[in-house]
Structure 1
Amino acid sequence: MRTLFSAQTTKVIALSAFVLIASGCTPKTQMLTPGATDEPITMGLSAKDFEQASVDAVQSLLSSGAVDRNDGKKNIMVISSIINDTMQRIDTDQLVKKIRIELLRSGKVMTTTAIGLNGAEDQMNSVYSELRESRKVDRNSLVKQSFTAPNMSLSGKIIQRNNRVDDDRQLVEYYFQLSLTDLKHGLAVWEGETPIRKIGSAKGTSW
């Protein structure tokens, strides 16, 4: 009887020790402040990388004078296409959104959501025109739509290049390339490129 009790006790202690050890080895979830020094660095693109690329692009664009006007009006920009030429599945809208926010804050640029390569970005622009045919809507409450055409277009590409440094390390380079086109003349009035380079283990992947 004592032998059986001792064996069961030993199993319980062993199981408890395993649970404690396993719990101690599990990384704790942490809340990271954007831009904090303890933010993990990955070989792939991170939110911090998009932040850096957008800040560099906006600063370069605004300092170039390409969006300055003397008539008191604001430029109307349409987002053309931002091509993802990397090995990762990324949402290019993450980069575009940050750029749009900063340009809007500058007071020099507004972005149209009614016109785009694939139709209206905000589908309500298109749906609203159909409300006039609905009997459920008070037609006197409808406003007459008059879209403002863009005079500038933003396009670009994100490129990835992988290079082996030695047997243990690889260099991954990302290039954020953007162009701003004056739609009146079809000429690029500003172009910018932000390189982001990372070096790490050759055994890992960057996607």
Structure 2
Amino acid sequence: MNKIISTCILAIALTGCASGVQIVDTNNDTAESVMGLEYRDFEKAASESVQSMLATGAVTNPNGGRYVLAISRMINDTMQRIDTDQLVKKIRIELLNSGKVVVTTAVGLNGPEDQMTMAARELRGNGEFNQSRVAAKGQLQAPDLSLSGKILQRNHNMSRGKQQVEYFFQLTLTDINSGLAIWEGETPIIKRGSASTVSW
């Protein structure tokens, strides 16, 4: 009897977990959009920004080689609790794949993104470690460029129970040596829908 009950519970659990679930093909997603920010919005903003940087030559090093990019402050000025890394990571990947830029994880506003870079250097002089494999002094690369930005949201009521939600992905690429912005971009994403639909 216990075996039958266990089998029934397992069958119900498996059916409940799998019911109505569908894997989304992100390369061919024709589903309706939502009023809030979704993955397609981040992909669009990242792709347009990188294509603009490449087209203007902002990330082409006239001395040859790749620029070293540091990530600065990305501000979320929307009503949604989003991680701005959802945008930044896509930009980083595309820039890295372009062959024009590498990103430093040893420098950040709140300390290194990858703390192991500095932690590994604490092994210098430790007799338990082969010193020929410990990172030498003067090997870290200082950044040439800094990427900063903001994501804005503005909501507007429209007639006939409609609303318009406007998102703006604003980015600035700064030459750290001169402090001058060498590229700036803004990708607007405008959505219209029912005023009863929440955008957060």
Normalising by structure 1, we get a TM-score of 0.83
Say whether the 8 Å CA contact 1:35–1:48 is kept in structure 2: no
* Residue of 88, 101, 104 corresponding to 1:112: 104
| 1:178 is aligned to 2:184 | no
Alignment of 1:75-90 (within 5 A): 75-90=67-82
CA distance in 1: counterparts of 2:55 and 2:189, whole angstroms? 21
Say whether the 8 Å CA contact 2:170–2:187 is kept in structure 1: yes
CA distance in 1: counterparts of 2:98 and 2:30, whole angstroms? 31
Normalising by structure 2, we get a TM-score of 0.86
Q: Amino acid of the residue matched to residue 160 of structure 1?
A: Q
| 1:36 is aligned to 2:18 | no
* Residue of 190, 199, 204 corresponding to 2:197: 204
CA distance in 2: counterparts of 1:51 and 1:174, whole angstroms? 14
Deviation digits for residues 45-78 of structure 1 (CA, Å, limit 9, x no counterpart)? 1011100000000011110111122322211110
Q: Amino acid of the residue matched to residue 60 of structure 1?
A: S
Corresponding residue of 1:103:
95
Unaligned residue ranges in structure 2 (runs of 5+) = 1-14
Cα drift, residue 40 of structure 1: 4.3
Alignment of 1:37-186 (within 5 A): 37-132=29-124, 134=126, 136-145=128-137, 146-186=139-179
Larger Rg: 1
The 3 A distance-change label for structure 1 pair 126 and 39 is: farther
The 3 A distance-change label for structure 1 pair 99 and 133 is: same
- Equivalences, count: 183
Structure 1 runs of 4+ aligned residues shifted over 2 Å read: 35-40, 131-141
Q: What is the RMSD of the two structures over their aligned residues, measured on CA atoms?
A: 1.8
Identity of counterpart residues, as a percentage? 52
Say whether the 8 Å CA contact 2:121–2:134 is kept in structure 1: no
